[in-house]
């Protein structure tokens, strides 16, 4: 089991009584935003490096939220 902090749901939705937690996590949302910026930057790197760096930055963003 992973100990990765996902930040919870990116877009929780309130239903009648409870919150629905399906869909993308905040970590995934942050990584997607970072990936968009990296791809737009014109850097020439292997695809796995873009993915790795995106999640690395997303993890740092989640740590900053805890501070």
Confidence (pLDDT) at 21: 65
The one-character DSSP state at 9 is B
Question: What does the buried/exposed string (b/e) look like for 3-21 if buried means 16 or more CB atoms within 10 Å of the residue's CB?
Answer: eeeebebeeeeeeeeeeee
Measure CA of the first residue to CA of the last residue in the chain; give whole Å. 25
What does the alpha-carbon distance between residue 15 and residue 22 come to, in Å, rounded to a whole number?
A: 12
Domain boundaries, the chain: 26-66
Q: Is the dihedral of CA 66, 60, 4, 39 positive or negative?
A: positive
Quick check: pTM over 0.85? no
For the stretch 7-57, pLDDT in tens is 887 777 766 676 666 678 899 999 999 999 999 999 999 999 999 999 999
């Amino acid at each position: 089991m992973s100990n990765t902090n996902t930040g919870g749901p990116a877009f929780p939705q309130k239903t009648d009584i409870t919150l629905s937690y399906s869909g993308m996590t905040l970590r995934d949302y942050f990584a997607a935003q970072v990936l968009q910026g990296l791809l737009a930057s014109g850097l020439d790197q292997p695809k796995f490096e873009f993915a790795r760096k995106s999640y690395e930055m997303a993890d740092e963003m989640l740590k900053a939220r805890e501070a």
